[in-house]
Amino acid sequence: MIAKTGKQTPVNKIIIVGAGPSGLLLGILLAKKGIQVQLLEASHELDKNPRAAHYAPSAVYELNRAGVLEDVKRDGIHPDAVCWRHPDGTFIAGIKSRFDIEFPMVCLPLDQLDVLLLKHFLAAPGTEVLWNHKVVSIDQDEGEARVHVETPDGKKTFGADYVVGCDGANSQIRRSLFGDLNYPGETLQKQIIATNVYYDFKQFGYWDSNFIIDENDWYMAARITNDGLWRVTYGDEWGLSNEEYLARQPARFEKILPGNPKPGDYKLVSASPYKLHQRCADSFRVGRFLLAADAAHLCNPFGGLGLTGGIADVGSLFDALAALKDGKTDDSILDKYSEVRREKWAKIIDPMSRANFRRVCLDEAESERNEFWALCQKMEQDDELARQMAQGTNILREDFHEYLTAGAA
């Protein structure tokens, strides 16, 4: 039986499923609020695959709230510019960071961020991480939400006031709520391979972040550490196996990267093929179960709106749960969380990420590109516009205070 909306419900213990950046960050925020947090992770360790690395101002704001920003800045870098280029490296347009803003973008590979967040999470009172704990089914009633879990010691059941699914694109929490195949949206018919590589792009005049525009040989190259590690994410033919994509990597690098490097010219650290999705769950709340980040919505990685949007979910969900714990609202605030975050995806994340991707790889997007190049040129002369654009992702945040009175009425 699903709990009815409009009730005052306790928030003493929360289970988070998934020890990725969103789950860990939410856990830190909740623990600092005095809420007991139990984090269940199906794997035996943190994810080490190459993933996102750039945290836009709206995400940096949440990292600061969690008390981890100084560590992130210590270990990471502040990218100073982004540009777009032709395949031969010719510069098209760019945006340089030339203002001091409160929370400038910071870059730190996600596997390193996860390690940092885990340390902070475990240092907080009332926290626990259980590895090799795979959720297989769920249920709930008026009193609590429960997850049924496969563990090294056999099947177990864990209960809490609320359960939050931060368990990624293949979320078992979402599948249990809506069905295995119910994740509305589409898979884009484009293949990407995300790599981490040591290669001296600076010798070719590359900026910290570079998008190479071409229908076939498009890619992104971005510096992600101080010691010369770069993220190179490139496209390849649709429909091959992961093994085939990895086997084609040396030839793809030689063809598309500046200097046409052979394997001995660079040090490949990791490579992972990915499909691109634009999807959003029907709801981010079903009774005492909640969804956030990739478990709730997906988009292509161009522009970093997947990670940035996921962290914005975390901020909103924390605000809602904290207000509920403090008695400032009732549990209808969690319906508002779902409504607000789904709207942010539909009106901002989905269309903007699609536009970012079209700009890089589709010939028919020429008119869109020209408009964007003109905007970049205008920003060079218009300081106020440039400052606004530098903080543009703040529109993903939401002030939940305006909903509290209505929620408690």
Look up the CATH number of the domain holding residue 43.
3.50.50.60
Please check whether residue 195 lies inside any domain of the structure.
Answer: no
Domain count of the fold of the chain:
1
Please check whether residue 151 lies inside any domain of the structure.
Answer: yes
Please check whether residue 236 lies inside any domain of the structure.
Answer: no
Please check whether residue 371 lies inside any domain of the structure.
Answer: yes
Q: What is the pLDDT of residue 136?
A: 98
Please check whether residue 259 lies inside any domain of the structure.
Answer: no
Q: What is the pLDDT of residue 1?
A: 33
Q: What is the pLDDT of residue 408?
A: 47
* pLDDT tens-digit readout, 215-269: 999 999 999 999 999 999 999 999 999 999 999 999 999 999 999 999 999 999 9
Q: What is the pLDDT of residue 170?
A: 97
Please check whether residue 86 lies inside any domain of the structure.
Answer: yes
Please check whether residue 263 lies inside any domain of the structure.
Answer: no
Please answer whether residues 204 and 215 qualify as being in contact, where contact means their C-beta atoms are separated by less than 8 angstroms: no
Taking 50 as the pLDDT cut, the residues of the chain under it are 1-4, 406-409
Q: What is the pLDDT of residue 405?
A: 59
Please check whether residue 201 lies inside any domain of the structure.
Answer: no
Please answer whether residues 92 and 370 qualify as being in contact, where contact means their C-beta atoms are separated by less than 8 angstroms: no
**Structural domain of 98:** 13-185+278-397
